[in-house]
A = this chain, B = another copy of it.
């Protein structure tokens, strides 16, 4: 693992690190914010999964999360959203290929060799983090934005016991039912839609739910509302009596201006779960 940069930030360190990923068969870069408390011992971890077109960097510089994480003594992990490189398959569309991994393991060519973001985020990167940094991997939580909200929700529900809490900003809630999902799942997973279901948070919510608190925020002026399909997840959460909050925030859109506004709430929500017991 190589450290590309380190900046002092809110009393802690915002680092950027690169490692040779065996899962994605390419170099992968991630951001890691360590609060000052990490100098004295392992700290809890909040994962932040980003949306379409983003790298590890966008949320790291625009979401305004470090200040709140510093206040709570929590580390932040910012993974990339796909494998990258000249040898990695891509597509001209912004919503397929590099920058658009959708947190799935591809089973179809040309995506198979590298596009294994589910395994990368679920298995390889946690191992890299545990080995190299003072992180308490028994205290993990996860959040994300848009495609990353979809990733956070599906990972949290599919890995029971891994995350104490899950939240999402404007998540893609029902990818098997909308054009942010059907297009990508057909490409990455093939035409058999039964293979798509494990990657749909509304279906997972209906089937199993999450053993912990859930927080979802979406702006009422989100320009991608038809693609996000929040009503499916809200309905599934209510039908299951899922512990949690589903909020529609008046006037907010899909941007980082929306996300940064509610970041304090989300970090505090996760901190309560991470610091408990």
Contact = CB atoms under 8 A, between A and B. Distances in A.
B8 A256 contact: no
A195 interface: no
A260 B12 CA distance: 13
Contacts of A219: 8
A136 B260 CA distance: 27
Interface stretch (A44-52, A60-68, A226-234): A60-68
A2 B11 CA distance: 41
Contact of A67 (B64, B252, B256): B64
A66 B263 CA distance: 13
- Copies of this chain present in the complex amount to 2
A18 interface: no
A10 interface: yes
Categorize the interface residue count of chain A. 20 to 34
Main secondary structure, interface of A, reads: mixed
Interface string A211-231: 000000001010000000000
A10 B260 CA distance: 8
A244 to B, nearest CB: 24
Contact of A7 (B9, B62, B250, B255): B255
Contact of A257 (B14, B62, B258, B260): B14
A113 B264 CA distance: 46
Contacts of A250: 8
A250 B251 CA distance: 40
A11 B252 CA distance: 9
A253 interface: yes
A7 B257 contact: yes
Contact of A66 (B221, B257, B264): B257
Nearest to A58: B61
Interface in A1-24: 7-11, 14
A109 interface: no
A251 B62 contact: no
B67 A8 contact: no
Given A8-B261, A9-B261, A10-B261, 8 more contacts: A7-B257, A8-B219, A8-B250, A9-B260, A10-B260, A61-B62, A64-B67, A67-B264
